[in-house]
Structure 1
Amino acid sequence: MDILKNLFYGFPDLWGGGVAHSVLILALVITLGLSLGKLRVKGVSLGLAWILFIGLIFGHFSLNLDEHLLHFLKEFGLILFVYSIGLEVGPGFFASFKNGGKSLNLLSIIVVALSIVTTLAIFSFSGTSITSMAGILSGAVTNTPGLGAAQQAFSDLRHIDAPSIAAGYAIAYPMGVLGVILSFIILRYALRINKSEEEAAAKRGMGHLEAMTLNTFSVKVTNQMVFGDTIKQMREILKRDFMVSKIIRKDSDKHDEVVNGQTKINEGDILQIVANPTVEEPVIALLGEKVQVSEEKFGEDLITRRIRITKPGINGKSISQLQIRSNLGANITRVNRNGVDLIATPHLKLQLGDRVTVVGTELAIAHTEKVLGNQMKRLNYPNLIPIFLGIMLGCIVANIPFFIPGINENLRLGLTGGPLVVAILIGYFGPKYNLVTYNTISANLMLREIGICIFLACVGLGTGEQFIQTVASESGMTWILYGVAITMIPILVGGIIGRYVFHINYYTLLGVLAGANTNPSALAYVREQTSADAPSVGYANVYPFAMFLRIVTIQIIIFVFG
């Protein structure tokens, strides 16, 4: 019995209660939390937040870790989590501000600003401490890195921890999940949405996602002004990006011609074209008329295959540098990167892990596979150097002081902001300078999930003693109402602005609002409502910048009002 008691409460003669005790408590909290996280009510789950709740219960009954060990594990878990997020969003971080992404990110900025204004308004009129409000804000927008950033900022500023931050987060988190979904339901009726029309428009990629959507269509050449012109000349006339993947020659049975810039088009030819929705109409107007052609009519000589880039030597090279079309007789028509399809223009630089769509003969594609890799085993080995090098640089950047007018203290990005900034920069600039930063989705997800699980468990264990008293008090009930206001007001106002000011498609709008709140549960709810990819694309487009804003702004709030 003494052995069991010591395993749960610690061995008194060992530092930190002993390794076995520390690992047991941490693993038990995470295991129970993950198990409960699988529970769903009408498709909605609190997910990893259950780890925090189980940690709070363990902490309340003094089933805890050594204070210093708990602090180290919490910070280390947070660093792993934030850094893996930075590596994931880095490649698309700056690209998300181009074309249609500008309006979507502007709306996310408005939603983030509204949540901050709501928080500060409640802080001014209620007299609630800024640490409690920072925790409520993080929970209301389901932003766990924001929780870590607020704790780190207050620790740097006052050199003590603030348990009320975690308590506020835990109290507001459940309604942060449910409040967004309730807001979406209200918006549907308030905006008088016709779901079938919105879904049809979303599937066509119309609106703000036009620049991030690729359509495949066929055009018959009937305009005599372009008879005998080359594909290159067509691009120069239109000044737009598009790819011709296959061609059917009039009065010819050959279907093995690989199209390139020097290919001439003639009357009656049928071209299969890959382009953004905005380019479709100009291409049709230039060439002739849009026709419906089954894939079988293009013949069986040319096949289409997706190839994964797994050779490190390809990383950072443009499509024109590879000369696949001229040397191998195959044609790259599109590139899928982080779930978004890109036009395979000659100047587009490829990255390790990209999936390229290649058109050519069986033999040509076989040769192309050898050049690009397409061997998943090579990607199964994680690239650890960028991870640990980046974490090291992140810790250095985290402690570089900077100044904000009106604040007497030297400010720092901290162990949340530093690794995040470095990871984004490495993820974006790494391929440009031939630094291989790619890790498989599963490897990056494993790193991220381990980090956040350790962090949430430690936060719960460290604040469990005060949490029960807070929830049971009158202030705990009031905090829930504050959290509901911080969750729903920005979503409802942002939804109206996004619809009537930016004219965003309904399903894209919901994805953007879920991304602005960094709320994957809300995204899962929206995805169940439609078969279109618009919610996921909208979410992915604003998520990187919204995450960055959430982490940075909550630190500024602590520094200014803490």
Structure 2
Amino acid sequence: MEWLIKIINNPVLPAHLALLFALVIWLGVKLGKLKLGGISLGVTFVLFVGILAGHLYHTFVVAPSNGEMATAMANQTLIINFIKEFGLVLFVYCIGLQVGPGFFATFKKGGVEMNLLSTALIVLNIAVMLALYFIWFYSPGDPLNKKNLAMMTGTLYGAVTNTPGLGAANNILPRLLGGSADYDPGFNIGSSYACAYPLAVVGIIGATIAIRYICKISLDKEAKEYEHANEADPSSVPEHFILRVSNKAVVGHTLQELHNFVKGDFVCSRAKKDGEMFIPKESTVMEEGMKLYIVTATSDKEAIIALMGELLDEDWQKETEGEKRYISQRLIVSKPEVNGLTFHDLHFSSLYNVNVTRVTRAGMTLFARRNFRLQMGDHIRVTGTEENINRVREIVGDTQKRLEAPNVGMLFLGILLGIFLGQIPIPIPGISEPVKLGLAGGPLVLGILIGAFGYKFKITAYTTNSANLMLREVGLVLFLAGVGVQAGATFWNTVANGGYHYVWMGFLITVIPIMICGLYGRLKMKLNYFTLMGLIAGTNTDPPALAFANQTANNDAPAVGYSTVYPLSMFLRILTAQLILLILIPLV
């Protein structure tokens, strides 16, 4: 077993660190699945296993060496720093790609109010943290003020369960504190983060339960109200029906003219005249008695019927199944050239004599409006002859295998550009140090921009949901394991020297803002309770809280609230992590 002992006792061997990280991550993920009171910490448990491993390592391997391993440990620190920072970059960039396509859409309609409430919650988190810092730790002239502020920042991000924010803060600390006499290169704010995190998960869920009882909310009533209000989004869900042209005012006009006249949008997938079915074009002229097979958004149905004539009580499926000449198929958008184009740009009806009636994206079925912008991975429902549908297939690709192939080159190009973006100094009046987005903020912002606008520059960064999730999880566990192993050296000293204060302070940072904003959202904004639960979970970027909300609601309301505020919340959490330190450390 000498070979194994050699690997374990030599911290600079690649196999040594590989074993350490593999063990920490495997055990952390395994233990993270255990539930206590229906709550599990998930992959975040990797951090705590890393702390334990780091503590045991420094106690039984490093300490007995009496400084003989100093050089080896310095080299090991450099390697671990690279692993955890690369993991963080991979994690936040993939988050950016995921939320980018819908990032700016979250500011439409009710999303503005929800994001304002989420922003207020973030500001209150910071305010409570600073109040506790100045009341408990700050003393004029104390050389530990800067270090204590850094530790309280770690507490803040443990209290809001936001790991990328911890990474952003940790990333700039050496630059801010490296020249301070009180700065110990081995000190790690991951210790205070770890102190605050476990109770924060309980606090987030407990606060949402407290809001329920304070406001005397009935879960059954909330579920019924949400179901009634959200049975279907009338502006996007497609509806099929058959009507007969009987309005003499439209006779003699083309479908294109009717599209220009009516406020609502619609697709006429097929038409029947004198018993013969055909695929209509935009130039097709309306004739009295003609049957039209219409697909439109639910909200536009009545307007279309009023314009055309009379609704027929005929079964769409039975009518179309008997017509063998025309078929309906689902095609997958897999060609990068189509990414970002609209149906108006593609001219499927006029050029290929087919009609697209609906689009399926991320499990949702949407009406295929002419200005609908396609994305890689969309499924489109096409109606026409088999020959014409095959011609459209050549345009959109329809190759699942092509989508499953990893776009590794573009992934690392995005990371490269994101790192450059993160290093650009941004001067802010009144702040001596320019602000940088850093290794956390730069890739996140670039990922969002590529996800939202990449199609305009012919950049295809599509990855399947499973691939994106895999990359994010790998990046996150590498970061958590690295932070944990390094924090393990000082964690127990932190706890013994007053670290328990970070526990109760973190709990207050968690609960007070949630109670204030949660009650305001419920009593003043009249938010559905399940949506509010998702909003709170999304603002704290906390998957365990979302899982609890989903289990409570048994509908998609929490997911709607979570996804509406999550993108902006993640961005603000990472940005404010740096602003707090950049602005306040020079002042204290």
Distance 1:304 1:180 in 2: 48
Q: Match of 2:375, SS?
A: coil
Q: 1:258 to 1:121 in 2, by over 3 A?
A: farther
**Which one of the candidate residues 545, 555, 563 is aligned to 1:522?**
545
Alignment CA distance shift 1:529-1:268 (3 Å): farther
Q: Are 1:334 and 2:355 an aligned pair? A: no
> Could you tell me whether the CA contact under 8 Å between 1:316 and 1:433 is conserved in 2?
no
**Which residue number corresponds to residue 389 of structure 1?**
413
Count of matched residue pairs: 552
- SS state at 1:75 partner: helix
- Whether 1:62 aligns to 2:64 is no
Q: Is the 8 A contact 1:55 1:459 kept in 2?
A: yes
Instruction: Output the CA distance in 1 between the equivalents of 2:110 and 2:258.
Output: 25
Q: Distance in 2 between matches of 1:292 and 1:198?
A: 35
Counterpart-to-counterpart distance in 2, 1:420 and 1:83: 5
1:486 match: 509
Counterpart secondary structure, 2:552: coil
Question: How far off its partner does 1:531 sit?
Answer: 4.1
The change in CA–CA distance for 1:61 and 1:281 in structure 2 (over 3 A counts) is farther
Q: Distance in 2 between matches of 1:496 and 1:290?
A: 47
Match runs of 1:457-496 below 5 Å: 457-472=481-496, 475-496=498-519
- How far residue 174 of structure 1 moved from its aligned partner, in angstroms, is 1.7
Q: Does 1:357 align with 2:381?
A: yes
Deviations 1:25-72 (A, max 9, x none): 111111111111222345421011111011000110126871111111
1:510–1:526: 8 Å Cα contact kept in structure 2?
Answer: yes
Q: What secondary structure, in the 3-state scheme, does the structure 1 residue paired with 2:435 have?
A: coil
Q: Which residue of 2 aligns with 1:5?
A: 5
| TM-aligned CA deviation for residue 407 of structure 1 | 1.9
Give the CA deviation at 1:187: 2.6
Q: What residue number does 1:27 align with?
A: 22
For residues 180-259 of structure 1, the aligned pairs below 5 Å read 180-203=204-227, 206=230, 210=233, 214=237, 216=239, 218=241, 228=251, 232=256, 236-237=260-261, 239-240=263-264, 242-244=265-267, 257=279
SS in 2 for 1:430: helix
Task: Give, in whole Å, the separation in 1 of the partners of 2:2 and 2:579.
Answer: 48
| 2:157 aligned residue (125, 138, 150) | 138
Among 148, 156, 167, which residue is 2:167 paired with? 148
- Alignment partners' CA distance in 2, 1:392 and 1:199: 46
Cα distance in 2, alignment partners of residues 109 and 80 from structure 1: 25
> What SS does structure 2 have at the residue aligned with 1:335?
strand
Is 1:256–1:361's contact at 8 Å kept on the other side of the alignment? no
Q: Shift of the alpha carbon at 1:492?
A: 2.6
Match of 1:157 in 2: 176
Deviations 1:77-115 (A, max 9, x none): 111111111122222222222233222222221222222
After TM superposition, the structure 1 stretch with the greater mean CA deviation from structure 2, 106-115 or 182-191, is 182-191
TM-score (norm 2): 0.83
Q: Any residues of structure 2 matched to 1:526-537 within 5 Å, and which?
A: 526-537=549-560
Q: Which digits, 9 at most, give the CA deviation of each residue in 1:240-279, with x for residues without a partner?
A: 4x43466787x987676568685749689686544265x5
Correspondences of 1:103-142 after superposition (within 5 Å): 103-127=113-137, 129-142=148-161
Residues 398-407 or 159-168, more deviating: 159-168
User: What is the match of residue 95 of structure 1?
Assistant: 105
Determine if contact 1:307/1:374 at 8 Å carries over to the other structure: yes
User: Is the aligned partner of 1:71 residue 2:90?
Assistant: no
Report if aligned partners of 1:143, 1:517 keep a CA contact under 8 Å in 2: yes
Task: Tell me if structure 2 keeps the 8 A contact 1:167–1:470.
Answer: yes
Aligned-residue offset at 1:183:
2.2
Tell me which moved more, 97-106 or 194-203.
194-203
User: Pairwise CA RMSD of aligned residues?
Assistant: 3.4
| Percentage identity across paired residues of the two chains | 39
Give the SS at the match of 2:504: helix
The aligned amino acid for 2:359 is: V
**How many Å separate the matches in 2 of 1:230 and 1:197?**
48
Match of 1:506 among 529, 533, 543: 529
Q: Is the 8 A contact 2:31 2:45 kept in 1?
A: yes
| CA deviation profile, 1:109-145 (whole Å, cap 9, x unmatched) | 1222222222222222222722122112211221110
CA displacement at 1:284 relative to structure 2: 7.0
| d(CA) in 1 for partners of 2:362, 2:137 | 44
The CA deviation at 1:529 is: 2.9
Which residue matches 2:317? Answer: 296
Instruction: Classify 1:75/1:264 alpha carbon distance in 2 versus 1 (closer, same or farther; 3 Å).
Output: same
Alignment partner, residue 143 of structure 2 = none
Establish whether residue 47 from structure 1 lines up as the match of residue 57 from structure 2.
no
Is the partner of 1:307 in helix, strand or coil? strand
Residue in structure 1 matching 2:33, options 21, 35, 38: 38
What corresponds to 1:375 in structure 2?
399
Structure 2 gap segments, 5+ residues each: 63-72, 139-147
Moved more, 340-349 or 37-46: 340-349
